[in-house]
Structure 1
Amino acid sequence: MELDEFKTHWNTIHDKEFQQQKISPEKLKQIIMNATETLGEMHSKSIYWRKIGKFTIQFFISVLAAVVLIELIKGIYLHSLTGFMATIVYLIIMVLYCIVTIWVYKKQEKIFTMYNGDSIKVTLKQTITGFKRFYLMFNVIYLFLYPAFYYAVIKLFITYWYPSIQTIFITCALATAISLICGHWYYKVKFFKKLKSLEENLENLEC
Structure 2
Amino acid sequence: MDLDEFKKRWGATQKEGPDQQGHTREAIDRIIKGNTYSLGELREKSAFWNRIGGWNSALMVLLAVGFLVWQYHRGMAGAALAGKLPLVAVLIGFALFSSWTYRRQEEIFTENTDASSTEALRRTLSEFRRYYRFTNTVFLIISPVAFYAMFAVFLDRLVLSLGAVVLASAALTGFSFLLRYWYYRAIYFRRIKAMEANLRELEDIPGAMETLGSHTPAK
Structure-1 separation of matches of 2:57 and 2:69: 18
* Contact 2:87-2:153 within 8 A present in 1 as well: yes
Structure-2 separation of matches of 1:86 and 1:116: 48
User: Which of 148, 157, 166 lines up with 2:145 in the alignment?
Assistant: 148
Unaligned runs of at least 5 residues, structure 2: 1-20, 205-219
Residue 115 of structure 1 is matched in structure 2 by 112
Unaligned runs of at least 5 residues, structure 1: 1-20
Residue 89 of structure 2 is matched in structure 1 by 92
1:119 is displaced (CA, Å) by 6.3
**RMSD value, Cα:** 2.1
Alignment of 1:6-85 (within 5 A): 24-74=24-74, 77=75, 80-85=77-82
Kindly provide the CA deviation profile for residues 182-203 of structure 1, in whole angstroms up to 9, marking residues without a partner as x. Answer: 0001111111110111111111
1:59 is displaced (CA, Å) by 2.2
Q: TM-score normalized by structure 1?
A: 0.82
Are residues 161 and 118 of structure 1, via their aligned partners in 2, closer, same or farther at CA, if it must alter by over 3 Å? closer
Q: Which amino acid aligns with 1:82?
A: A
Residues matched between the structures, number:
184
Kindly provide the CA deviation profile for residues 104-162 of structure 1, in whole angstroms up to 9, marking residues without a partner as x. Answer: 11111111123278962212211221111111111101001111110010001112223
Structure-1 separation of matches of 2:114 and 2:66: 48
Are residues 202 and 159 of structure 1, via their aligned partners in 2, closer, same or farther at CA, if it must alter by over 3 Å? same
Are residues 30 and 119 of structure 1, via their aligned partners in 2, closer, same or farther at CA, if it must alter by over 3 Å? closer
Residue 157 of structure 2 is matched in structure 1 by 160
Q: Which moved more, 1:88-97 or 1:121-130?
A: 121-130
Residue 130 of structure 2 is matched in structure 1 by 133
Structure-2 separation of matches of 1:86 and 1:95: 15
Matched, 1:191 2:188: yes
Structure-1 separation of matches of 2:193 and 2:30: 16
Structure-1 separation of matches of 2:55 and 2:115: 36
Of structures 1 and 2, the larger Rg is shown by 2
Structure-1 separation of matches of 2:113 and 2:51: 24
Q: Which moved more, 1:138-147 or 1:51-60?
A: 51-60
1:163 is displaced (CA, Å) by 2.2
Matched, 1:206 2:203: yes
* Contact 1:114-1:123 within 8 A present in 2 as well: no
Structure-1 separation of matches of 2:38 and 2:115: 19
* Contact 2:39-2:113 within 8 A present in 1 as well: no
Q: TM-score normalized by structure 2?
A: 0.78
